[in-house]
A and B are shown apart, each in its own frame.
Chain A
């Protein structure tokens, strides 16, 4: 498997709180993508961070990448109920056009 520790978990928080999700991966990757999947929908990319970047921000989202420990995190500040979703990290499989997805973190944000 591409993944080290399983990143399948469920988090339940209140609106306005900050949250951080983590994932680790086993093999070299050039990019880590974070996808969000809302109930009944397909996943959609929310932020992408490349191996030459340590941090990437987009609105309330912040992604980090530590290539030495082969880990990435996604933080959401000031969560909203609409952030309720499953969040996946994904890496590219070397020398292929495939993307390998982790098992996801289920985030429930209560109003």
Chain B
């Protein structure tokens, strides 16, 4: 069965620290996405990727970097975490425009 997994599931970080969120998919999808979800804003796209080695900026990329070292793995990196980045982060995979995206279970990040 198609699956997207995320780690860690919960993370507490300090302001100014570095945080890496990891995502793995077994769907063999070319595209992968990172979203954050905040009350009142729904899901907002941070970064996405078309395949290994590619990363693209989404709608709210400031303060975030992304890395796609392989078809299966996509990481979201917060070099200098801030309290405003406290949120729930979702990774998703998909095969392109108009096609279903498969989401992971989410990572709850708290930046103190």
Query: Could you say which residues of chain B place their CB within 8 Å of the CB of A31?
Result: 98
Given A42-B90, A43-B43, residue A98 in contact with residue B58 (CB < 8 A): yes
Q: Which stretch of A13-21, A55-63, A69-77, A99-107 is in the interface?
A: A99-107
8 A Cβ contacts from A31-76 to B: 31, 33, 40-45, 48, 50
Q: Are B42 and A92 in contact (CB under 8 A)?
A: no
Given A42-B92, A96-B97, residue A103 in contact with residue B58 (CB < 8 A): no
Q: Is B105 an interface residue (CB 8 A)?
A: yes
Q: Is A88 an interface residue (CB 8 A)?
A: yes
Q: Is A82 an interface residue (CB 8 A)?
A: no
- Docked CA distance A98–B103 (Å): 14
Q: Are B103 and A30 in contact (CB under 8 A)?
A: no
- Docked CA distance A98–B45 (Å): 8
Q: Are A97 and B103 in contact (CB under 8 A)?
A: no
Q: Which of B40, B90, B98 counts the most chain A CB atoms within 10 A?
A: B98
8 A Cβ contacts from B40-59 to A: 40-45, 48, 50, 58
Contact of B103 among A33, A43, A96, A100 (CB under 8 A): A43
Given A42-B92, A97-B96, residue A102 in contact with residue B101 (CB < 8 A): no
- Docked CA distance A8–B42 (Å): 9
Q: Are A48 and B103 in contact (CB under 8 A)?
A: no
Return the 7 tightest CB-CB contacts between A and B, nearest first: A42-B103, A103-B42, A31-B98, A101-B43, A45-B100, A92-B98, A97-B96
24 sampled A-B residue pairs with Cβ under 8 A: A8-B40, A8-B42, A30-B97, A31-B98, A42-B92, A42-B105, A42-B106, A48-B100, A50-B98, A92-B97, A92-B98, A93-B97, A97-B50, A97-B94, A97-B96, A98-B45, A98-B58, A101-B35, A101-B43, A101-B44, A102-B42, A103-B41, A103-B42, A104-B42
Residues of A at the B interface (CB closer than 8 Å) are 8, 30-31, 33, 40-45, 48, 50, 88, 92-93, 96-104
